[in-house]
Amino acid sequence: MEEQISSRQRWLGLLAKASPEWLIEQAESWVNPVAFTLIRPAEIGLAKVQGRMGGTGSTFVLGDITLTRCVVQGPEQQVGMGFVRGRNKGHALCIAKLDALLQLNDYHDGIEQKLLTPLEQQLMQAAKVKQQGQAATQVDFFTLVRGEA
């Protein structure tokens, strides 16, 4: 059960980070032939973001973010959820439909190979490019100590 939860978290995270236009275009062949029932249509709301002082201290409210969510029911009564930061209802709906399909063995391997693996590679490459850009502007500071303290 725990392995299933972590893999679902993985694919939901990848889908939420994907470019909405790219994801909707790539997912079209998977989600269009399948009939879904809307349980909760895509809606926009707010979510509180929490932080931790130093990464380990007690939590505090950092602020609010705009969040779009959607819930659908798939062909075998499985529930698919889509959450995305921002105001893109089409992106949230697409994620919900893909989440429902990824829970089915008939669709899971195909979507994993044709959609999730390339998406993961794209995101890793983008993170690498961003990291290289940041490294190019990094400044190393040093302190010069004179005499004895």
On whether residue 60 sits in a domain, the answer given is yes
On whether residue 139 sits in a domain, the answer given is no
Q: Taking a C-beta distance cutoff of 8 angstroms, is the pair 80, 71 a contact?
A: yes
On whether residue 20 sits in a domain, the answer given is yes
- At position 131, the amino acid (one-letter code) is Q
- What integer pLDDT is reported at residue 87 of this predicted model? 96
Dihedral angle sign, alpha carbons of residues 78, 33, 86, 46: negative
Which token pair is 91?
Answer: 């992106």
Please state the domain count of the chain. Answer: 1
The whole-model pTM stands at: 0.81
* Residue corresponding to tokens 């959609």: 115
On whether residue 132 sits in a domain, the answer given is no
pLDDT, one tens digit per residue, over 48-95 is 999 888 878 889 999 999 999 999 999 999 999 999 999 999 999 999
On whether residue 104 sits in a domain, the answer given is yes
pLDDT, one tens digit per residue, over 6-42 is 889 999 999 999 999 999 999 999 999 999 999 999 9
pLDDT grade for 3, boundaries at 50, 70 and 90: low
Instruction: Tell me the residue range of the domain where 60 lies.
Output: 2-125
- Return d(Cα 112, Cα 126) in angstroms, integer: 20
* Class of residue 24 by CB neighbours under 10 A (exposed 0-12, middle 13-18, buried 19+): middle
